[in-house]
Protein backbone atom coordinates (compact mmCIF):
# COMPACT_ATOMS: atom_id res chain seq x y z
CA UNK A 1 0.00 0.00 0.00
CA UNK A 2 1.74 3.09 -1.19
CA UNK A 3 0.60 6.04 0.90
CA UNK A 4 3.47 8.28 0.06
CA UNK A 5 2.63 8.81 -3.60
CA UNK A 6 2.59 12.45 -4.55
CA UNK A 7 -0.50 12.03 -6.65
CA UNK A 8 -3.64 11.71 -4.52
CA UNK A 9 -6.47 9.72 -6.13
CA UNK A 10 -10.02 10.47 -4.98
CA UNK A 11 -10.25 7.08 -3.42
CA UNK A 12 -8.29 4.09 -2.34
CA UNK A 13 -9.27 0.51 -1.83
CA UNK A 14 -7.36 -2.15 -0.03
CA UNK A 15 -7.85 -5.88 0.20
CA UNK A 16 -7.27 -7.86 3.35
CA UNK A 17 -5.33 -10.85 2.16
CA UNK A 18 -6.58 -12.94 5.09
CA UNK A 19 -10.20 -12.60 4.01
CA UNK A 20 -10.11 -12.43 0.23
CA UNK A 21 -10.95 -15.68 -1.57
CA UNK A 22 -10.14 -14.39 -5.01
CA UNK A 23 -13.62 -14.74 -6.52
CA UNK A 24 -12.95 -11.81 -8.79
CA UNK A 25 -16.32 -10.13 -8.38
CA UNK A 26 -14.68 -6.86 -7.35
CA UNK A 27 -12.55 -6.85 -10.48
CA UNK A 28 -15.66 -7.40 -12.59
CA UNK A 29 -17.59 -4.69 -10.74
CA UNK A 30 -14.96 -1.97 -10.51
CA UNK A 31 -15.93 0.88 -12.91
CA UNK A 32 -12.39 2.21 -13.51
CA UNK A 33 -11.01 -1.37 -13.53
CA UNK A 34 -8.23 -0.71 -11.05
CA UNK A 35 -8.36 -4.08 -9.26
CA UNK A 36 -6.34 -7.07 -10.43
CA UNK A 37 -5.68 -10.62 -9.28
CA UNK A 38 -2.36 -11.03 -7.53
CA UNK A 39 0.09 -13.75 -8.44
CA UNK A 40 0.72 -15.17 -5.00
CA UNK A 41 -1.48 -17.36 -2.82
CA UNK A 42 -2.75 -16.38 0.61
CA UNK A 43 -2.82 -18.46 3.80
CA UNK A 44 -5.80 -20.49 2.56
CA UNK A 45 -4.33 -21.05 -0.88
CA UNK A 46 -6.43 -18.52 -2.74
CA UNK A 47 -5.09 -15.95 -5.14
CA UNK A 48 -6.33 -12.62 -3.86
CA UNK A 49 -7.49 -9.42 -5.46
CA UNK A 50 -5.29 -6.37 -5.12
CA UNK A 51 -5.47 -2.69 -5.90
CA UNK A 52 -3.45 -1.69 -8.94
CA UNK A 53 -2.23 1.33 -7.03
CA UNK A 54 -3.89 4.17 -8.79
CA UNK A 55 -7.14 5.30 -10.34
CA UNK A 56 -9.61 4.49 -7.51
CA UNK A 57 -12.57 6.85 -7.29
CA UNK A 58 -13.68 5.61 -3.87
CA UNK A 59 -17.12 4.67 -5.25
CA UNK A 60 -17.40 1.62 -2.93
CA UNK A 61 -18.86 -0.73 -5.53
CA UNK A 62 -16.09 -3.26 -4.97
CA UNK A 63 -17.00 -3.35 -1.28
CA UNK A 64 -20.68 -3.80 -2.11
CA UNK A 65 -20.17 -6.74 -4.42
CA UNK A 66 -17.54 -8.46 -2.28
CA UNK A 67 -19.05 -11.46 -0.47
CA UNK A 68 -16.65 -11.26 2.45
CA UNK A 69 -17.61 -8.96 5.31
CA UNK A 70 -14.26 -7.27 5.80
CA UNK A 71 -12.09 -8.23 2.84
CA UNK A 72 -12.32 -4.82 1.21
CA UNK A 73 -11.95 -1.40 2.76
CA UNK A 74 -12.62 1.68 0.69
CA UNK A 75 -11.37 5.14 1.56
CA UNK A 76 -12.03 8.54 0.17
CA UNK A 77 -9.76 11.52 0.06
CA UNK A 78 -10.58 13.94 2.85
CA UNK A 79 -11.99 17.32 1.75
CA UNK A 80 -8.81 19.22 2.70
CA UNK A 81 -6.53 16.87 0.84
CA UNK A 82 -8.93 16.90 -2.11
CA UNK A 83 -8.59 20.69 -2.30
CA UNK A 84 -4.83 20.30 -2.47
CA UNK A 85 -5.17 17.78 -5.27
CA UNK A 86 -7.49 20.14 -7.04
CA UNK A 87 -4.89 22.92 -6.72
CA UNK A 88 -2.24 20.72 -8.27
CA UNK A 89 -4.26 20.49 -11.45
CA UNK A 90 -4.40 16.71 -11.32
CA UNK A 91 -8.19 16.38 -10.90
CA UNK A 92 -9.87 14.18 -13.40
CA UNK A 93 -6.96 11.80 -13.54
CA UNK A 94 -9.17 9.09 -12.07
CA UNK A 95 -12.12 9.57 -14.37
Phi–psi pair at 38, nearest 5 degrees: -75, 170
The three-state secondary structure class of 18 is coil
Estimate to the nearest angstrom the gap between the alpha carbon of 31 and the chain centroid: 11
Mask of contacts with other proteins, 35-64, x by CB under 8 A?
---------x-x-----------x-xx-xx
Q: How far is the CB of 82 from other proteins (least distance, A)?
A: 9
Residues 52, 34 contacting (CB under 8 angstroms) = yes
Does 88 contact other proteins by CB under 8 A? Answer: no
Give the interface with other proteins as residue ranges (CB under 8 A). 1, 3, 8, 11-12, 14, 16, 18-19, 21-25, 28-29, 44, 46, 58, 60-61, 63-78, 81
Amino acid sequence: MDATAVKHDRGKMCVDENECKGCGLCMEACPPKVIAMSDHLNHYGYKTAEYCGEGCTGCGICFMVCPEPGAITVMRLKAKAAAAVSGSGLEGANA
